Structures are given as structure tokens and as C-alpha cells.
Structure 1
Amino acid sequence: MTDAYYKKLDEEKVFKDPVHRYIHVRDELIWELIGTREFQRLRRVKQLGTTYITFHGAEHTRFNHSLGVYEITRRILDVFEGRPHWDEKERLLTLAAALLHDIGHGPFSHAFEKIFGTDHEEWTRRIILGDSEVNHTLRKVDDSFPQAVSEVIEKTYKNKLVTSIISSQIDADRMDYLLRDAYYTGVSYGHFDMERILRVMRPMEDQVVIKQSGMHAVEDYIMSRYQMYWQVYFHPVSRSAEVIINKIFKRVKDLYQQGYEFKQKPNHFYSFFHEKVSLEDYLRLDEAITLYYFEVWQDEDDRILSDLCVRFLNRKLFKYVEFNPNQWMNDWPKLQQLFQQAGIDPEYYLVIDSSSDLPYDFYRPGEEGERLPIHLVMPNGKIRELSRESDVVEAISGKKRTDHKLYYPLDLLMNMKEHTETKKEILTILNIQM
């Protein structure tokens, strides 16, 4: 380790933050990482993608959230200082990983990833390990430090305690996004007593545990997460906007592959079409650039691309009905056929979207997405898994909730002057009154 490992700023820097009041930076390395080009780019990527279309306050960014995760982690490490099982030499590594955990996110993350086959976790790794300002800054600690930071974020780092602070069922990442997203969306569901949870966190050999006296604060945290997923993250209107973005990206890719002549050439997307994306290509693409393309593509000759961009920019979203895959097995092919007959391309205008969430799970070794449960440390020093002690958590533990919706353009159907019989059949299947 070089002197950079220990180097402090001459004067502590603070960010004013509406959620945590102040975010404190004392380490020179953290301050330099915040100033890198790759981290500053996160100011131009929204934390909640299309959610601002439903909750107009949700304009906060990955930059806000990343600083928040860093700050919560810093406070956790203040609690851990001097306690058994915590090695103070891991401090700067943990803080750097907390700050950089989301650095690979692209514009409208999930819709973009689905169409272009990108993965924000892979891009996080490439930014940290590649030829970037972030990598050059991390190397000031030593040449192996970027690899260690990447391993913490990828959950492969040898010290599982460090990983669990940033990624587990109760971690700095989740605590920040619940409080931050609740604040900016204006809802009351996401609030819980974070200060209490931080006070009762304790380091163990391979994970953070919670003192039994803090169990009720953890119950609140889990219930707030459950409510936020169904009331905010999976809100059907936000999902409709995401469905449309997904179809815009798909249409652009399809048109390019068909040799369509764009009035406004999608220069920023060419490397994504060819799946040969350089780090520079990826970093140049943010939501400001993407929205510029949506704006100009409203004037394209392709009717579908133009219509989808108009819909997204002017909030003319698809309507939806609840969709039970078992009951709709016969209706789905028929509906696609009727849309074709009506001259509405079902590939772009008839979309099934599914959401699912598991609010809390106990340990299931070997399962995909294996997750460590939350453990309580009892007054006698014994460790107990949370759902064994909490009736509230036991009631929802391991219960996955899934919800399916069918999205369609009601306005196109209602404005149809021809194909009246086809229109009637479609509306009957969708159970819509004329």
C-alpha cells in the first residue's frame, strides 16, 4: 500500500443531501474518485429510469444514490471501528466499492440492457479494471486495488463481511435507495429507522449481523422494501413507459438491420447494433443523448418509430389489463392475429410485462441468486435467523409475488374507422366497453 491509502484531505468535504443531511468525505482517494469523468457521468443517468413519468419528483440520479451508499457505508464502518472481526485495513476498499457499485449503469438501464444485451455489472467491472480515470485513481493505492474493488462489487472478494456491507438482504445499497426513492417519489412507504439499524449492526466473521434489540427496526425496513416494490418500482404506468422505451430501442435496431435510411443517423448506437462496444462508446451514451434521439426520431418516416417516440415524450402511454398466462393461452395467439388484421403491429403494440419480487428469503444453499439471510445476535451471544424470531418476517419469508400485465394502445383501437368487427373482437377479449 502507498501513502495514498492513508492520505486524508486537508479539510473535510461535505455534500448537502436531502436524505442524509450531510455526506462527509475525508479520504483523498474518495474525493478523487467522485471527480472522475466516469463517476460524474452518473449525474446524467436517473436512478429510477422511467419512474419520473409516474412520480414527477423522481428526477434523482445514480450520482445521488452512489454518494448515499458511500455515506451509509462510512457510518457503518464508524460503528465497526475497534470491534472484533473488523479489520480497519479493509476500510478504504469498502468505501471505494460502495461509491462505485453502480458506475456501470447505462441510460434507462433495464430497457436498454434487454435490447442491446449489455449488463451494467459487466460494465462496472470494465470501468474499474479498464483504461479509465477511475482505474488510474484506484491504482494510486496499489496495482491490485482495482481488482479488489471489482471483487467486492461482484461478491467474489475473500472477506465476505466486506461484501455483505454493500450487498446482502440488509445493506447500504438497499437502505439508501429505499429512503432516497421514497423521498423523491413523495410516498410514505419507504421510511424506516436507519439510524437505529446502524447502531445495532455488528461485524461477524462473514457477514453483518443485527443485535436482537433492533429486530423491530429491521421488520420496518423489510416491510418498507415490500411496499416500495409494489407501489413504486413496479407501478404499471412506469412499466408502460419502460415498455415503450424497450420498443423504441427494438425498432431502431430492427430498422438499422433492414437498411433503413435514418434522417438522424443513430451514431451513438452503431457499436451496440454490432455488439462491439468500446468503453468510450459506452461512456458517451447517457440519458441526455438518448432523449435527444427520441426527440428527433419523432420526425422519422417510419411510422412505428415516430409514434413510439411521440408517445414516450408526451406521456401517451399504453393502457394495460391484468394478464393471467394460464387463462390467456387461447386468447393470446388470437389477439396477435386480430392486431395484424387491424394493421397494428403486435410486435410493438401488444406486450406482456411481468414483475416479481421476493421481499425476504431464508438461506437456500445452491439456489440461483443465493442470498444470505439476516441474522440476529441474541443477548446470550447465539445467532438466530431473522424469520425464526419475527412473526412479521416469517409471514412473508420465501414468498415470491409475480404480476403479469398486457399493454396495448387503446387510443389506436378506439380511433380505428375501418376493421370494425376486428376492433369489436379485440375489445371483447380485452374486456373493454366501447
Structure 2
Amino acid sequence: MTYMVEKLSEEKVFKDPVHRYVHVRDRAIWDLVGTKEFQRLRRIKQLGTTFLTFHGAEHSRFNHSLGVYEIVRRIIDDVFDGRPEWDNRDRLLTLCAALLHDLGHGPFSHAFEKVFDFDHEDFTRAIILGDTEVNKVLKNVSPEFPEKVAEVIAKTSEKKLVVSLISSQIDADRMDYLQRDAYFTGVSYGQFDMERILRVMRPREEQVVIKKSGMHAVEDYIMSRYQMYWQVYFHPVSRSAEVILTKILHRAKQLYKDNYAFKHEPQHFISFFSETENVTLEDYLKLDEAVIMFYFQIWQNEADPILSDLCRRFVNRNLFKYAEFDPAKEYKKLAELNGLFLKAGIDPDYYLVVDSSSDLPYDFYRPGEEEERLPIHLLMKNGELRELSRESEIVDAISGKRRTDHKLYYPADFLADESNAKDIKKQIRTLLE
């Protein structure tokens, strides 16, 4: 299908710390960046609570979305252009999907989703297809264009090659966030030779493949991703902050259901807290991280001791401590700790929390399984395609191996205060050591 592609009179650029420049030549892309729904992403952090661990991690979903767009633009314009396997009529579709792939993320992203049982991809689709500025821009391309873009992001599009550029085990999304997150956190783990990977990418009917000569660059990319997950994304201090964040929202939601009289009514949260009201797209778009932090600030002064304490902890970075925990072996200890916390007057629902993190750095093809993943294929000199782990000993060593980590979070300062329940708190400390 051919879409109306209007070009700008002159190229626009965004200065970018990772890619140097983000180039925009298409009117639709420029107009999408200017929509209020896309500008909202400036107010959503890319790494949620990680800024409380790595102080430089203040970058936004806006930064990242532009970065993913730029990587896809370079692949299409500099690598795929003119190759018979690539249909250049899909260019604008691919660029728009890359730019908008994270459009529906809520404040503090995944923590927020867990509390309210949302999926940001549902809201991405709602923004693209709803009565929004984004929808109007996309419809200027063609009436059916918003649906086509939404299908690519939802991975239901028949254009599987386009989908693979944005969502696969070696896609523009991962290539941008690894480098961007490494840059802003100040670590070196996320660095890899993206220039080399882009040069050896080749289009095929259903996915991007990599020339065999680029295998070592891909190995480096996969190991960079592995290290970033365990050194940055799953950092126990960031997880502590996320635990407190989720408990604040759970507590506020429970108080609202119990008809608690807030000193300042949580207007922005009412549809989220109420089981009788549906959260509208308008409600969702009004709630960003600046709004949430406003409520956390004022909730420090609430009469409810749990809500006020948790908010003070988050705002002032007085986080929970953690202990290693094996739920399969230590479930009896957890039950004992719950009982002791109750005796000490500390609510274990909010102050004794097991948090688990899990990652699968690379997987081969497992048809029919949940979260089925297409593997990375290498293009051999004879034209044959070979799955990456069959050629790489490094990748084979980690293929299909899921690593999981469990931590038990608790307020060490509460346990150190021996003004009451001194003996019980001593027992708790002994169990946590």
C-alpha cells in the first residue's frame, strides 16, 4: 500500500548525546513529535526509580523514542534502501511505529502497571486510534494508517520484517535503550558496536538477519544486555525504591476504598482507585510523574502513618534494606517474620516485601510457548540461515537459561528503634542476618 509521504522543506535535527543527531525529513514524523501525547513522554522517566541509585538516570521516554526512530531510519535509509527484500513503501509506517512504540507508558512505567493491572501497549493503541492529536497526524497520511501503525507495535501486523525492526531479540528498541541507559547511568556495560551491527543487518521476508561476519558484534550486544539487566535494571537499591513506590500506591488505593478522608483529595487517582469507574484515556494522559511526585509530597503530611511514612521514604530516599532470600527454601522463615512483625506493631503487608527479578538474555525458537521469541539468524556465505547459538559458543552457553533473583525488603530503621518490642525486634534482626 502506498501512503502520502510529505517531506519538509528542509531537514530538522535534534541534538542527541547517544546518536549525535536525530534527523527528520518527513512531515508526519515532525508533526508527531509536536503532539501533546508525544510531548508527555518528556515527563515519564525511561528508567523509573533508577535515578535514586544512579543519579544521572533522569532521561525520559521522549529521548529514547527519538533514539529508536533514528536507529530505524538509519537501517532503512542507509542499509536496506535498494535491496530487493525491502519494500520502501513501508518506510513511513516503520518510522512512525518506531517513534510511537512507547507512547502509552505511564508514570514510573512497570511499577505503575503492576499496581493498577494495566498494559502500556493497550494505552499505546488507544492513543494511536483514539481522539488524539497523534491520530489526526496519522490519518493525514491515510485513513487506515493509524490502524496499520498500531498493528506493527502490537506485533499483529502481517509485515513481520517491519515488526522485527522494532520488536525482536535484536531490535532498534534494545539497541537504543542499552546505549542510552549506559550513558546516563555512567556505566560501561551497555556499550557495544552498533555501527558494525547496522552494517551487517540484512532484510529478509519475516525478519532482520545478520551476516555471519558480524557474529562477534552480536555476541557483544547480547552480553551487554545481560550485564545491564543485572548491574542496572535489577539493581537492589532501585528495586527497593520501586517496592516503596508500589506500596504507596497500594496504600492510597486501600485508604480510598475505606473512605479515608484525605487532606487533599486525590483527584488524579479517583478513576484508578475506584472499581466502579473506568479509567479513560483522558485520565491516563493527565497522570505523569510530576503529578505523582506532587501527591507523594503532600501525602507526607497525611494522618495515616503508613502512607505518610512511605511517602517520606520515597521523597527523601530513606529506602528499605534487603536480605538475600530463597522462597523455595525459606518460606517458613518468611511466615515467622510476618508473625514477629505483627507482634512488633509493624504491618508486614507494607514493610516486609519479597521482590523477584528474572531475565532470559537470549532464547532459541520455542514454538507455541508463552512469549514466543524468534531467534537471531546468521546469514552464511552460502546463503543459508543458521540460528545464532548454533554458531556462537558464547551465546550457546546462555541460551534458554533464565536467571532469577529474590530479595527480602524491610525497614532497618524500624528494627533498630528499640523504644518498644525490643526483644521481638532482636529476634527479627537475627532472622534477617
Band the TM-score falls in, shorter-chain normalisation:
over 0.9
Local SS of the residue matching 1:370? coil
**Cα deviation digits, residues 288-308 of structure 1 (max 9, x gap):** 000000001000011000000
Q: Is 1:130 aligned to 2:134, yes or no?
A: no
Match in the other structure for 2:166: 166
The 5 A counterparts of 1:27-426 are 27-78=26-77, 79-275=79-275, 276-426=278-428
The one-character-per-residue Cα deviations of 1:228-271 (angstroms, maximum 9, x if unpaired) are 00000000000000000000000000000011000011100001
Report the Cα offset of residue 167 of structure 1: 0.2
Contact 2:257 / 2:274 at 8 angstroms: preserved in 1? no
SS across alignment from 2:404? strand
What SS does the aligned partner of 2:323 have? strand
| Residue in 2 that maps onto 1:8 | 7
Task: Report the residue type matching 1:291 in the other structure.
Answer: M
Deviation at 1:73, TM superposition (A): 0.3
The amino acid that maps onto 1:411 is D
Q: Over residues 111-166 of structure 1, what are the superposed CA-to-partner deviations in whole Å (9 max), with x where a residue is unaligned?
A: 11111122101000100011110011100111111111000000000011000000
**Structure 1 unmatched runs, 5+:** none
Give the superposition deviation at 1:109. 1.1
Q: Distance in 2 between matches of 1:6 and 1:103?
A: 22
3-state secondary structure, aligned to 2:390: helix
Counterpart AA for 1:186: G
For the 8 Å contact 1:162–1:207, the answer to whether it is kept is yes
Structure 2, unaligned stretches of length 5 or more? Answer: none
Q: Deviations over 1:85-115 (max 9, x none)?
A: 1101100000000000000000011111111
Question: How many residues are treated as equivalent by the alignment?
Answer: 430
Cα shift at 1:428 = 1.3
CA deviation vs aligned residue, 1:35-72 (integer Å, no higher than 9, x gap): 00000000000000000000000000000000000000
Structure 1 residue matching 2:86: 3-state secondary structure:
coil
**Matched AA of 1:51:** T
CA RMSD of aligned residues (A): 0.9
Aligned to 2:140, the other structure's residue is in SS state coil
Over the matched positions of the two proteins, sequence identity in percent amounts to 71
Residue 428 of structure 2: SS of its match in structure 1? helix
TM-score calculated relative to the size of structure 2: 0.98
SS at match of 1:139: helix
* Aligned-residue offset at 1:417: 1.5
Looking at structure 2, the residues matched to 6 and 264 of structure 1 have their Cα atoms a distance apart, in angstroms, of 49
Q: Please report how far the alpha carbon of residue 5 of structure 1 lies from its aligned counterpart in structure 2 after TM superposition.
A: 2.2
Structure 1 counterpart of 2:31, one-letter code: E
**Partner amino acid, structure 2, of 1:39:** F
Q: Give the partner amino acid of 1:142.
A: S
Give, in whole Å, the separation in 1 of the partners of 2:166 and 2:422: 56
Alignment-derived partner of residue 427 in structure 1? 429
Normalising by structure 1, we get a TM-score of 0.98
Return the offset for 1:211: 0.4
